[in-house]
Chain A
Amino acid sequence: MKKTLLAGLLAGVAVTGAAEARDQIRIVGSSTVFPFSTAVAERFGKTTSFKTPIVEATGSGGGLKLFCAGIGEGHPDIANASRRIKEKEVKKCAENGIADVIEVKVGYDGIVLANSRSTDRMSLTLRDVFLALAHEVPNGACGSADACPMKANPNKTWKDVNPDLPDMRIEVLGPPATSGTRDAFVELAMEGGCKQFAGIKAMKKADKRAYKMVCHTIREDGVYIEAGENDNLIVQKLTTNPRALGIFGFSFLDQNDDKLQGSMVNGVAPEFEKIAEGNYPVSRALFFYVKKAHVGEVPGIAEFIAEFTNEATWGPEGYLADKGLIPMSDTEREEWRAAANGLQNLSM
Chain B
Amino acid sequence: MTDPRQSPTETILASLPRRRRAEARFHFYGIAAIGIALGFLILLIGAIGHQGIGAFSQTEIALDVTLDESVLDPSGTRDPETLSTANYRAVVRAALGEIFPEAVRKRRDRRKLTALVSIGAGFELRELVLADPGLIGRTMRVWVPADDEVDMLFKGVTVRDSGRFTEKQLGWLDRLEAEGRIRSAFNWRFFSNGDSREPELAGILGAMSGSFFALVTCLALSFPLGVMAAIYLEEFAPRNRWTDLVEININNLAAVPSIVFGLLGLAVFLGFMGLARSAPLVGGMVLALMTLPTIIIVTRASLHAVPPSIREAAIGLGASRMQAMLHHTLPLATPGIMTGTIIGMARALGELAPLIMIGMVAFIVDVPQGLLDPASALPVQVYIWADSPERAFAEKTAAAIIVLLAFLVVMNLTAVILRRRFERRW
Contact = CB atoms under 8 A, between A and B. Distances in A.
Interface of A: 3-4, 6-7, 10, 13-14, 17-18, 20, 22, 24, 26, 31, 34-35, 37-39, 41-43, 45-49, 51-52, 54-57, 74, 229-232, 249, 251-252, 254-258, 317, 319, 322-324
A14 B361 contact: no
A49 B217 contact: no
Contacts of A17: 275-276, 279, 281, 371-372
Contacts of A55: 362-363
Interface string B324-367: 00000000000000000000000000000000000101111110
B81 A49 contact: yes
Given A17-B279, A229-B387, A257-B164, 12 more contacts: A7-B221, A17-B371, A17-B372, A37-B363, A41-B363, A42-B196, A43-B119, A46-B365, A56-B363, A230-B386, A257-B163, A323-B389
A13 B196 contact: no
Contacts of A255: 389-391
Interface of B: 81, 84-85, 111, 115, 119, 123, 158-159, 162-164, 196-198, 217, 220-221, 223-225, 270, 273-279, 281, 359, 361-366, 371-372, 374, 384, 386-391, 394
B223 A54 contact: no
Given A35-B389, A55-B363, A324-B389, A10 B197 contact: no
B390 A10 contact: no
Contacts of B365: 41-42, 45-46, 52
A162 B386 CA distance: 37
A46 B130 CA distance: 13
6 contacts: A3-B220, A10-B220, A17-B279, A46-B123, A232-B387, A323-B389
A17 B372 CA distance: 7
B377 to A, nearest CB: 14
B164 A317 contact: no
B274 A18 contact: yes
B363 A34 contact: yes
Contacts of B387: 31, 229-232
Contacts of A43: 119
A91 to B, nearest CB: 23
Contacts of B278: 54, 56
Given A17-B275, A17-B279, A38-B363, A232 B386 contact: yes
List 6 tightest A-B contacts by C-beta distance, closest first: A258-B162, A52-B365, A17-B372, A3-B224, A56-B362, A38-B363
A66 to B, nearest CB: 9
A13 B85 contact: no
Given A258-B159, A323-B197, A14 B275 contact: yes
Q: Which of B115, B123, B217, B374 has the most CB of A within 10 A?
A: B374
Contacts of B270: 74
B113 to A, nearest CB: 14
A101 to B, nearest CB: 20
A41 B217 CA distance: 29
A45 B366 contact: yes
Nearest to B228: A4
B81 A254 contact: no
Given A17-B281, A34-B363, A254 B159 contact: no
Contacts of A4: 224
A38 B220 contact: no
Nearest to A52: B365
B197 A35 contact: yes
A54 B363 contact: yes
B150 to A, nearest CB: 14
Nearest to A26: B277
B325 to A, nearest CB: 16
Contact of A57 (B196, B361, B374): B361
B197 A42 contact: yes
B18 to A, nearest CB: 48
B242 to A, nearest CB: 25
A74 B275 CA distance: 8
A46 B159 CA distance: 32
A254 B389 CA distance: 9
A47 B197 CA distance: 15
Given A56-B361, A258-B163, A324-B389, A47 B85 contact: yes
A68 B365 CA distance: 26
Given A18-B275, A231-B389, A232-B386, A24 B374 contact: yes
A34 B198 CA distance: 14
B366 A14 contact: no
B164 A258 contact: yes
B394 to A, nearest CB: 7
